[in-house]
Every structure is written in C-alpha cells, then in structure tokens.
Amino acid sequence: MNPSMANWETVMKLFPAAEADHSQKVYEVQQMVSLLFDLNNYLVQAFLRCKETRPATLLFLGKVLRLNEGYFKTMHQNEVLCSRFLMTQLCAILIESALPIFAKGEFDYTKLPSYYVLHGADNPTVITFGGADTERIVHYDEARPCPTYPADAPPYKPFVHLFFLAARAMMYIAAFIDMHDRDARQATHPQSGQREREALTSEKCLYEALLQPQKLALSRLQLLNYMAKWLLHLMDVRPDGTLPSEVPEQWNYLPQQLVDTVVRATQMAPKDGLFIDGMISLMLVLMGNTNYFPKPHTHTLFPSYLMSILNDYSLRKVLEAHPWFKDHIVRSCIRCYIAVEKANYERLEVRYELAHCLKRFLEVDSLCAPVREEFGRQGTVLERFSHMAVAEVNAAVDQLIQTLTEMNEAMKNGADLSETAVAAPAAAADGTAENADANRGARNGGRRSQGRGASATNNEEDADDEEAEEQADGTRTYHQMGLSLRSHIMLFNASIDMFNQIAAQFEKGVSQNMVAQQISQMLSRSLVCFAGPKSKSLKIEFAERYEYRPREILSRLVDCITRFRRSRSFLQCMCKCGIPLPDIHAAMKMVVERQLVTEDLIWRLSEMNGALQKVSEKVGEEDALWDDAPDYALDALLSTPLTHPVALPSDVKNLADLIFVNSDTIHHHLLSESKNPFTNEHLDEAILKEFNERPEIKEACEALKKRIAEWVQEAKEKLNNNL
C-alpha cells in the first residue's frame, strides 16, 4: 500500500463504515483535541508573554500561515490527519491568544488599522491574505491601483499583529468548514461510489472532531463577534444602522474572503446569544447592500445564518431586541433576495430560506410599517423585488410541471415506483479506496490553487454539483424524481406564501401598474397550470410520500389571486397578461364546481370570476379601438397602445426615425438586463432619462403624443358612427 493510502486508511479506521453513528468516536477525538490544545496553547502563551521571544514567535506563526497561503498547499490530500490537526491547532491557538485584546471593557477599534491587510515593503508583519492577486471588496487594476501599506504608518504593536494573525487563521477555519460541508454533500451524492462515500464520511467526521470541541468553538464565536464589530467600524456605520453613501476606502481594499469568513465561520459553532450582537449588526447593514458588498453571490451567505437565528428561541429574542432590527430587516431581506437573483444563483436551499424568512417577517405589521410608505411609491425596490420573485415562482411552476409530467409518464410506462428502485447504470465508479481518493482529489483539486477565493470556489463547486445532477437526471428513478419534486414544492409554497404577505402588507405598492402586471401574469399562469385542461397529466402515485397535495397548492394560489378581486387595475392586467381569458375562466369554473378549495375561497373566486368578466368586456371595447392603429401609435417593442412614449437613445439625424416605447415597457425590460432591446448597447434608467430630457427629444415626444391623441379621437368618432 502506498503512503497516501495508508494515511487515508488511518482516518477511515477512526470512523469505520460498519458503524452508522460516529458521534461517540467524534466526542472521544474532541476530548483528545481539547487536551492537546491546552498543552500547545500553554507553550505558545509562554513564548508570547516573554518580551525576548514574542517577536520571533509572531514571525514564526505568520510564516506558518504564509506557507499555507493557498489553504491546502501543505495540507495536501495525502497527509489527511497530521496536516489538518496541525492547522486546526495552530488556528485555535491564535484565536485564543487574540481574545484578551478585547477583554477590558469597550474596545477602541481605531487601534486596529485596516492597512495591515495591504501589501508593501513597509508592512512590518509577514501576514498576507492570499497573495498579490487577492480578491478585494472592489476591483483594482492598472487604472485604479490598489493602495499599498503607508510608509508613514506608526510603529506596529504586537497585539495588532496578533489580531491580524487570528483573522487570517479564521479564514482557514472557514475553508475547513467549507470542506466539511462539501464532504457531507458528496457523501450522499448519487454518483459517488461506495468506497468514496466511506472516505468522505470519515473526513467529514474528522473535521467535526477537530473543529467542534466546545471550548475551541466558543472562542471562535467570540472572536468572530469582535471581527464583525471591527468591520462595522471600518464601514463607519451610524448609530441608527445607516451607512455613508460613499464607501470608505479602508473598506474597499479589504480582502473579500475576510468579510465572507465572518459569516461562514459561524457554522459548526455553538449558539450563544452573548456573542452575536456584532454579527447581527453586520448582517442588518450588509444584507442585500450591493454598494458595500458589490459581488452578488456573497449575499447567499446571509439567509442560512438568519435561519439559524430564527430557529433558536433565545437567539431569535436577541435578534428581535436589536435596535436596528425593526427598521432594517424587511428592507434588508428584500434587497438580499434581489441581489441573490441578480447573481443567477441557482441553489434551491438559499432561495427557499430567503422566501421563508421574508414570509415570517412580513407577517408582523410593526416590521413592515417602517418601509410601507417607501414601498408604496412608484418605481421602488418593491417593483424590482416583484420582478425577481415572479420569475422565481414561474421557474418553480415550470419545474413542478416538468417533474410531475415525467413522474406521470414513468407511471404509465410501468416504472418501478418503490423507494429502493435502482436507476439505469451511468458511468461505473471504481470501488477501490485509491480510486475514491483520486476521484475526490480531482473534484477538490481546484481548491488547492494558490490565492483562490473561497466564495468563488463555493459557487464553482455548486455549479459542478448541479451539472452532475443534471447529467444524472436522464436515469433518475421515480423515487429520485419525487424527492426533487418535494424540494420544488417547498420553494413554490414558500414563494406563494411570501406573495400573500406582500399583497397584504403593501397593497398600494402591489396595485401599481407594473407590479400588478407581473403578479397577475404569474398567478393566472399558475392557476391555469394546476386547474386547467392539462392538469390531468399531473397525477402521480404515492403523492403523500413526496408531500404533493394538489388541493393545498390550489388553495394557496386561490388565496393569493383573490386578494385582488376588487382591484380594477389588477383585473385589467389579468385581461392583458397573455394568458387566454377563456382558459382563466375555465380554471376558475373548475375549481368552483368541483369545490377543490374551502368554501370561503370558493365564494371569493366566484366573485372574482364575475368581476373579471365585466372588466374584460370593457377592455375588449378598448382593444377594438386599437385594432387598426397605425405603427406610430404602438409600442415598438410590444405592439401595445403607446400611451406614455419615451424615445430610446440613438444617433439618428432625422427625429422621425426615433424608436418610441412605453415608459413602463422599457422600465420592465431594464429590470432584467441593462441593454437597448434593439441594438444591444448598454442602457440604464439614467441614460434613458438624460436622452429624453434633451429639448429636441421632448419636442418630438410631445408632437407624437399630439398625433396619437388626434388619431384616437378620430378612431372613437368612427367607431361610434359604426355603432
């Protein structure tokens, strides 16, 4: 057996596959780790207390961290046990050594200058945060070079050096936690071989043993809380939790991973309300704030942390008592939802957590009151949020319909419906431990590259996981499809429940034309899918096993859509949403006649169906007026009546060649992409506004409005004469 395999065998013997529960062994190793930590910590503290040995000790600790700058440069695949034990012990000692810095009352965070994270010949420490190519909060290049360590900086003090060593060590801990989570996912992945799963499970247990001793984890949580308060100081946060509009440069040049770590490293740590006030403050000001946190994918770190607080009674009370909570939480969650969706981050768990958190907060009137007036205005964040959330629900409906249809077809084709069914064999996996090690090393090889950002690694890894799952979809069993269905149902239910609360809390904002258009189209489409003529193809066996309850889905949809039964603008939007009106009426009629929902919902749906019929007649009369409308009277993008024209920016010499669209149309388009729909050139609201404020463009717009008004008057007279 080669040496690399001997190392793996040692770890796997610690946590043998024959045992289903490794908790006792993990506990025993944790006790050993704690004992060895006490001995090692005692030795290092002795060196740090002595003035003669302190500088050399700090330099040595910094050099050890520097050797592992790429996280896994020396902690390589073959030395599983010793390398991970060495680094976790070193990191724990540094964290424990840094805690006394903050022990005496209220700490002055100005004593920890942020320029210690910068490179430069004048930097007196050997601490680096990933090398010269470190990913920072903002992007620096030749046009905007990254600042360097100031030559006129005052002499550093050992406690400053120690704090930054501990902060760097915390980044390693966060990387270990990522590896633990990755192992946990891969160990249950359908494409992992048996031997590979055993190796992954063993390494996962090893991380739990090394990282979760109570004393070490609590010290980690304390330092993370102090680091969060230091970050708040760098942002120059005000007493009410608001931030300056201009981002301080000392925040801009921070390593992205350092900020990410403060949230990521809270995992695998104990729940303690005494040490989360700084973390909560950081979450409330950063969550969804793309001005201070411009990389959208990093906002996916917050929902799981927020969920962990909400699911613990004592922590939830600490959160609710926070002075910034009431004014910030709803706005922060909605902005985070937007930031996550802008990143096209397809991890289902994150989207579900966000929708679930939002629903819980929207149920509380006092949390919605601070933003109700703001969200009631035209063109606010609520409009962008509804645009993103509608797309989310539409995607969930598509996934539900597709999975249900596939399961229905599998039933008809006589597929094995049991939970133990085996999928058609894909690429055969070698069952040897050596091959398991190689496969795992190939998947994780990218993590060991020098200077690579952990946040980027996580996203690439998740993309790889999703790609692998997609490849496996072609051979999924009925049960595997059912498990996927259950996840999509959870997301769909959470999204619809969230919409219900949005409609109840921000009725004025939802009734705005743009928001109503988006929501009416989504709800009408969903209702027709689940209660229309094709709904028969959505029947499956063992529906309860996968928590598929069609009547519950219909009840949620009907409850949501009937909230707008007396809103004329919403009913008008339903008539023009693109879903055929006969299909909508037929779906409503089927729900009522078959009594598929509760009696109160049936009454509300019947009322809405009648109101929709009356409004549709009026809309039909208006549409008849525009049947023969000339091109200049129609929106150039959607061919709808041009009621509020704006000109798209162009370099035309003749103003008659300008392209006009409705302001709502282009506004809706720009929510999705910042491009001119006809030329694909960059376009945003500011450019559009500036172009249309030119005197000659204003004049052309007014002339067009007058021309359209004259045509409408003539068309009405002609229509009346024909009647």
* DSSP secondary structure letters along 193-248: -HHHHHHHHHHHHHHHHHH--HHHHHHHHHHHHHHHHHHHHHHT--TTS---SSPP
Q: pLDDT tier at 552 (50, 70, 90 boundaries)?
A: very high
| Distance between CA atoms of residues 274 and 314, nearest Å | 10
Residue 105's CB is within 10 A of a number of other CB atoms, namely: 6
CA distance 393 to 345: 15
425 confidence band (pLDDT: 50, 70, 90): low
Q: Are 596 and 549 in contact (CB under 8 A)?
A: no
Going by pLDDT thresholds of 50, 70 and 90, the confidence category of residue 38 is very high
What does the longest C-alpha to C-alpha distance in the chain come to?
104
Compute the average pLDDT of residues 559-587.
88
CA distance 573 to 519: 9
Residue 232 has pLDDT above 90, yes or no: yes
Q: Do residues 66 and 126 lie in contact, with contact meaning Cβ atoms separated by under 8 Å?
A: yes
Judged by phi (left if over 0) then psi (alpha if -120 to 50, else beta), residue 155 lies in beta
Predicted TM-score (pTM) of the model is 0.76
Q: How confident is the model at residue 567 (pLDDT cuts 50, 70, 90)?
A: confident
Scored b (16 or more CB within 10 A) or e, 355-390 reads bbbbbbbbeeeebbeebeeebbeeebbbbbbbbbbb
Supply the pLDDT for residue 69: 65
Task: Please compute the mean of the pLDDT values over residues 480-496 and round it to a whole number.
Answer: 87
Question: Where along the chain do the CATH 3.30.40.10 domains lie?
Answer: 631-722
d(CA 3, CA 666): 64
In DSSP notation, 250-297 reads HHHTSBHHHHHHHHHTTTTS---GGG-HHHHHHHHHHTT-TTTS--GG
With respect to CATH, is domain 631-722 assigned 1.20.1060.10? no
Mean pLDDT of the residues in the chain: 81
Query: CA 283 to CA 301: how far, in whole Å?
Result: 10
Interval 602-658: pLDDT, tens: 999 999 999 999 988 887 776 677 777 888 888 888 788 888 899 999 887 788 888
Instruction: Work out the pLDDT band at 372, boundaries 50, 70, 90.
Output: confident
Tell me how long the chain is.
723
What is the rounded distance in angstroms from the CA atom of residue 661 to the CA atom of residue 644? 8
Instruction: Report the pLDDT averaged over residues 399-407.
Output: 90
Q: What is the pLDDT of residue 329?
A: 92
Amino acid at 292: Y
- The mean-pLDDT minimum among 73-77, 637-641, 707-711 falls in 73-77
Report pLDDT digits (tens) over 153-178. Answer: 787 788 888 999 999 889 889 888 98
**Residue 230 Cα distances to 389, 548, 618, angstroms:** 34, 47, 61
CA distances from 484 to 492, 687, 713 (A): 12, 43, 56
